[in-house]
Structure 1
């Protein structure tokens, strides 16, 4: 089968397409999936560059890709939830950049019929991240005010929609085409962060979802009410600033599991969640696709189409 792999950490130049044996089912609870689409996520790039090798080392050669959609073509002897021919979404953790992948059935769910394969491949990390930040850790409730960075991005756009469905008041930051997109997804206010200083406009916020880190993160302390929460998916916030502003601030590791996806999948079923695929690339264009995401300013998800 065709697969994308690299043998060393580095720039996108280390990525290559190779021919390797098709994986076979090794566990009685595994399913073999013919991959139709695989998502590109920022963590794929962080792993490839080696900046995460101390906390998430990988064995070389490595096939990246943590989420995919496709068709089950073989099942293990004890698989009870699926059958051959089922169209599914798979939380693969690795190895999704390939024509075939094996996954335990407990990391697989049926693809919503309303979604194409490319749309289905784009939702797991977004929804799981949004669920973790807004509800599992953020305890967001109806009527509360939430500020979401990057409301036109992949994770931020999911947060806007899920917060809207929960009855929150949403302030989103965005730029360029992302401003209109965040508004269309349900944001009550959208602030163009390239034109305005968010910290001088937003006030009395219950929850801030930080997707940028750095200097932008530091300014977000100022918009929170006392006792509010600043949760970052990028880097640990300053404890000194948290104490100064009397807020709860911490880094959140996203829970990407079937349980974390339930809320978002339900919203898709009721038409309250829209998938946003920014651009698609062919499998052999994986290096170009990762570079496209690295440049930034992407409104929605980047997806590989696998033939």
Structure 2
């Protein structure tokens, strides 16, 4: 098959909003839109989350994670979890559900393995982005978490179509980076009603340029992506370094160092990653 022609076909469909999703994705997108309504208060969010047993369980789990349970007080109810997390974090949880649902129809073992590795990479990136945002760049941590969760959504969509286009996973990784990722990614992000600030941060990743020390949401996302111990199975971004090399990055942060912050935050990152992998 002509892999580049297939990328162009899928990209053209994505740019026109002609995306093929499982039925459960559409329901989750409606839930996401409801949570993004400025008038969506905690009581409304609680009812929406309680209607989905899996999402309700994840909400309680993340509320009890080290990243969000700083007092050490464990909670067991959805209402208390919603109050602790806030609607913004709930948007990230729903986004995580949507991203995983996109690939839920895959049956081919190779595709499923790619899906699993891509989600591991995504979960690591999102957890790291949240900590880097809160402790280093001081951009909104909830937005950074959300951006980390959706930053590879175009890749998930590509994998979800792999069984319709045999051979699409063959070839060089740069072909996906150069000819498919941007157009397909934009289309899927638009379909999922991703905020413009997050869209801009993800687009900055596609260029592969970041500042050190990191300054904005795009830099936060790129550094987290570099540090993720599981690399994306689809590509290596321009300028990306190996996770091992990324872990040698260090710079001054106030009276401390970036390396020290990562070591101090290791439990938070691991706890958040574990919840996202549920």
Indicate whether the TM-score tops 0.5.
no
Q: For this structure pair, what is the TM-score category when the shorter chain's length is used for normalisation? A: under 0.3
Larger radius of gyration: 1
Relative to its length, the structure with more strand (as a share) is 1
* Bigger relative contact order, structure 1 or 2 (CA pairs below 8 A, ≥6 apart): 2
Higher helix share: 2
TM-score by length of 1: 0.25
What TM-score results when the alignment is normalised by the length of structure 2? 0.27
